[in-house]
Amino acid sequence: MISQPYQLYVERTDTSRNMARYYAMAIEPNLFGDVCLLRRWGRIGAKGQMKVQRFGCETEAVELFLDLLRQKRKRGYRPRPR
């Protein structure tokens, strides 16, 4: 069971380069008791791509979640402006 919800949605836009990207992550349990890190990314408004990684324990998934978050922040991804 997951102790707390982990969800993230960030965007990176640059009109001069015609760039409008999104990256979304969530940690969720599956039906077999494994912990899964779901990742979705692509151009804003498009279906994009998806990847699911399974882990035996929540701590491994959280470590990767936080590492990917740091990488995306370095590349200029930010929460959607309201």
Residue 82's pLDDT is what? 64
Residue 79 has which token pair? 């929460």
Q: Which amino acid is at 66?
A: L
The C-alpha R_g of the chain, in whole angstroms, comes to 14
Q: Which amino acid is at 13?
A: T
Check whether 1 has a pLDDT greater than 70.
Answer: no
Collapsing DSSP to helix, strand or coil, 57 comes out as: coil
Residue 33's pLDDT is what? 83
17-63, pLDDT tens digit by residue? 999 999 999 999 988 888 999 999 999 999 999 999 999 889 999 99
